[in-house]
Amino acid sequence: MTSGSPHPTLSLRRDEAQARRDVLSVDHYDVSLDLTGERTFDSRTVIDLTSRGGATFLDLKPAAVTKILLDGTALDVDLLDRGRLPLDLPPGAHRIEVEATMPFRSDGEGLHLHVDPADGRRYVYGMSFMDAAPTIFACFDQPDLKAPYTFHVRAPHDWTVVGNAPGDQVEPGRWEFATTPPLSTYFVTLVAGPYHLLRDSHDGIALGLSARQSLAGALEADAEELFGLTKSCFDEFHRLFGIRYAFGAYHQAFVPEFNAGAMENPGCVTFRDPMVFTSRVTRAARIQRATTVAHEMAHQWFGNLVTPRWWDDLWLNESFAEYMGNRVTAEVTDYDDAWVHTAWARRQWGLSADQRPSTHPVAGNGALDAASALQDFDGISYAKGSSILKQLNARMGDEVFLAGVVDHFDRHRFGNATMHDLFASWTRAGAEGLHDFTSAWLRTAGPDTVRWDRAAGIVLRTPPADDPADRTHVLRAAVHRGGRWQTETLTLDGPETPWGPEGDAVVIDPYEDTWAATVLDEDSLTHLVELLPAVEDPMLRAGAWNSVRTGWGQARVHPDAVVDLLTATLPTEPSDEAITTLVPWALRSVVGVAPDPTGTVARLHAALTERTGTAAPGSTLQLAAFQAYVATCSDPATLRTVLLGDLPSELELDADLRWLTWVRLAALGAATREELDAVLAHEPTAKARVEHARAVASLPLPAAKEWAWERLTGVAEASNYEIEAAGLGMWRTGQETWTAPFVPRFFDALAGLPSVHSGWVLGTAVRAFFPRTAVDDTTLERAEELLSGGLDPTVHRNLLDLTHDLRMQVATARLVEARR
């Protein structure tokens, strides 16, 4: 596949951005795009700017250039080198005009073109984030050179075009858009195609939803909920900030093959379109969508109204949007358990990232260039940052917290700001002692590990060896004694805190009062097998499991202990969120190093069979349990009966459940390639193509593994979603006979991958195809050898994280061997 711009380009360094900002300011962009082409589109950009005098450069990544004019004088287009055109601008006002042919892309970046296999219709959307804007229009691509934009678009007559500002079709196929407020290049977008469009309004704001035509029915079914979420969140954000949404209309476009969960483009937010539900989903999936909607709405203030000056402050975007999105969802929508969802779905994402060698501070992450900054859009910048903001809010109080935020918005409206600007606003609002907090929690990487030493009667607080900090933790601990759970508050202000509760089980910080890697003592873990099934407090259940998962990530927990707890709790688990979190985690991480992988899966399946049978018919808990039942079923005959419609009462065999069953059959070697191809031919949707890729790659056949491999190496064309599915399907526990030859091939391929994939997809490909089932010293040694140098930064960063996880898996495997 063609997953990047056609020529090698450079990623903007921070020092270059600072130098360019010193030289010029941008007054206005006028952009004309002709989207009627098949593989490319014509782009004309007129940039009005003011120079303070000096040398700089323009960003442009075209397929071809027709002409470039500076103040009416032609410039030599051959000077364009690796996406940059050098400029030497005298002081004063200037106009740059660029006419170029740009590439439609197929990797979810730039102007992405998708042909829907369901009906052959073509769809386009813009993703300008991180070095991608110059493949759409000529620009000065950095967050602190904001400017207004005016767009003019020519498109096929049956297309609708939506952008950052309201637009009208002034004649068939020609669209004119209003001028936007000042925007950073990275959130400029267009969404164009024969999209199904729905409209509404609220409090003077025009609202819109769109998805491709093959999803029209599903979008109609979800519209009431989506519009309702949007309206409730707008009301709450307006109440909290007292500052109205500043970007005119608010459109939410669900677009195909989107890499991220969503992108906060002002006026036109883009979401991955699997969030339009074509099959029945769990409550967990709906909460995830609701918090994503609220997260992107929070960005309209945090990130769009006021934008970080550089990517080392990306937490000013993401941590705030994560915190406010969860908070607002919990307070004003039907999903008042949003913080429980965060505990299950996000906490470990952040803690795992924070314990890897690639950990970085929440703030001031040291991003030297845009490409490296992309790697820091991780669980630290989202989940950890959100948790620390929650702590900060508790420390200073909501009134001071919000007053400082509003002061920050007022002072830097439509501009750029830094962490120091925000903390100055909080200080003006009355906050005190922020310097020490900032240093310990925001500027120092890594979490403290907190555990109770039962024998010594102390709580140990151990900072990361490479990033020591003296953090004080104020948290609650749940203690089970006398037949009931009780809560005690602890203050940990030193390496050791005396504490000796008389309890058979102790869970430290289940309510996420602080940011720490908490682990259970062995006796507590043993007692939880009996106690946890009866716990009704959802945060205590989630918190206990987070301590188990943290201990697992540190290679402190034996697989049998995890499975014992799972098989005890799953039959009575009241939350579909727990099932959809824990079962995939166990299948991915625990089963492969268990003493008896086959027996372990059978035990999980038995527990899920029981939960499926006892869950209320028609409930999302029943749905989650049955999905996990299918994923752990090892009897092909039983799975075949599912495909024939033999399901529990109130469940239906929809597309998602049907493909889940086919994927499981394929992994067992109980489906043929011909069967899988026939299912796809009967249902040729984009989603089906992804699941077909997963199923084919899961087959225990050399040809199937080679088929998957061709998607990694670019021999076969595939979408970004299909590449990921093929990689995840390829590596299956129990299929080592067929995957073993690909272990050395993976490491041999890493150096050349940047010539095949780029940006988001490059990282996705490395993660999906990493040989996660090859848990042995030889694989670990080869990975560590490659980390010594010479790899592309994106490849290196992902390999570093994956190698750390493998190292912990190998350590756990040794623990298993030692106890045999």
Catalytic residues: 296
Supply 253's token pair.
């476009």
Provide φ and ψ at 318, rounded to 5°: -80, -40
Residue 586 per-residue DSSP state: I
Residue 592 per-residue DSSP state: G
Alpha carbons 159 and 174: distance in angstroms, whole number: 10
Give the helix/strand (H/E) hosting 271.
strand 268-272
In angstroms, how far is CA 351 from the centroid of its own chain?
Answer: 15
Supply 320's token pair.
């705030």
- Return the C-alpha torsion angle 231, 235, 237, 241, nearest 10: 160
Provide φ and ψ at 461, rounded to 5°: -115, 110
3-class secondary structure, 554 = coil
Packing angle, helices 538-553 and 347-354, rounded to 10: 30
Provide φ and ψ at 282, rounded to 5°: -80, 165
Q: Of 641, 538, 652, nearest to 281 (Cα)? A: 652
HEC per residue, 196-214: EEEEEEECCEEEEEEECHH
Q: Of 547, 388, 397, 393, nearest to 471 (Cα)? A: 388
646 Cβ contact partners less than 8 Å away, ≥ 6 residues apart = none
Alpha carbons 789 and 793: distance in angstroms, whole number: 10
Exposure of 556 in the CB half-sphere (CA atoms within 13 A): 16
Tokens 């029943």, located at residue:
622
**Do the bridges between strand 92-103 and strand 54-59 make them parallel or antiparallel, or are there none, so unpaired?**
unpaired
Amino acid present at 453: D
Q: Of 509, 503, 541, nearest to 523 (Cα)? A: 503
Order of strands, sheet of 196-202, starting from the edge strand that comes earlier in the sequence: 196-202, 205-211, 250-255, 268-272, 262-263
HEC per residue, 80-135: CECCEEEEEECCEEEEEEEEEEEECECCCCEEEEEECCCCCCEEEEEECCCCCHHH
Is the CB of residue 126 less than 8 Å from the CB of residue 253? Answer: no
Alpha carbons 717 and 707: distance in angstroms, whole number: 11
Provide φ and ψ at 91, rounded to 5°: -60, 145
- Per DSSP (E only), the strands in 464-515 are 473-481, 484-492, 496-498, 505-508
Supply 567's token pair.
């098989």
From the CB of residue 351, how many other CB atoms can be counted at a distance below 10 Å?
Answer: 23
Specify burial of residue 436 (Cβ count, 10 A radius: 0-12, 13-18, 19+): exposed
Q: Of 380, 285, 326, nearest to 656 (Cα)? A: 285
Is the CB of residue 200 less than 8 Å from the CB of residue 260? Answer: no
Alpha carbons 419 and 68: distance in angstroms, whole number: 38
**Do the bridges between strand 73-74 and strand 174-177 make them parallel or antiparallel, or are there none, so unpaired?**
unpaired
How far CA 356 is from CA of 366, 379, 786, in Å, comes to: 17, 11, 17
From the CB of residue 82, how many other CB atoms can be counted at a distance below 10 Å?
Answer: 10
Amino acid present at 235: D
